[in-house]
């Protein structure tokens, strides 16, 4: 992944685009297992809200399994469906 520093003096520069680009890069880092699922869900929610999507679109199947197993705060309407977890 190549990081491009935006030209802050450009009249076309929109700081929201820079934040979104940075957040998307972090989401890619999570896919490589470099952040905790708690940190990841918060970021995924923010990016999803900016893009009019659901959180599940930015989480791996493993992340979703962990969210379900840990019984994390989850709003199916906002965040999307979680996989069914079999009780122990």
Summarize the confidence of residues 62-81 as an average pLDDT.
91
Q: What is the DSSP string of the chain?
A: -------TTSTT--HHHHHHHHHHHHHHHHHTT-S-HHHHHHHHHHHHHHHT--GGGGS-HHHHHHHHHTT----HHHH-PPPP----
* Burial class of 11 by CB neighbour count within 10 A (0 to 12, 13 to 18, 19+): exposed
* Each residue's pLDDT tens digit, 4-51: 555 656 777 677 887 788 788 888 887 777 778 888 888 888 888 888
3 has a pLDDT exceeding 70: no
Residue recorded with tokens 């076309």: 12
Please state the domain extents for the chain: 15-62
pLDDT band at 1 (very low <50, low <70, confident <90, very high): very low
């Amino acid at each position: 992944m190549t990081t491009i520093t935006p030209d802050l003096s450009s009249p076309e520069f929109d700081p929201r685009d820079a934040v979104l680009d940075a957040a998307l890069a972090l989401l890619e880092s999570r896919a490589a297992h470099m952040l905790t699922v708690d940190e990841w869900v918060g970021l995924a929610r923010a990016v999803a809200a900016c893009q009019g999507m659901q959180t599940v679109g930015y989480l791996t199947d493993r992340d979703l399994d962990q969210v379900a197993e840990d019984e994390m705060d989850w709003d199916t309407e906002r965040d999307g469906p979680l996989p069914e977890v079999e009780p122990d």
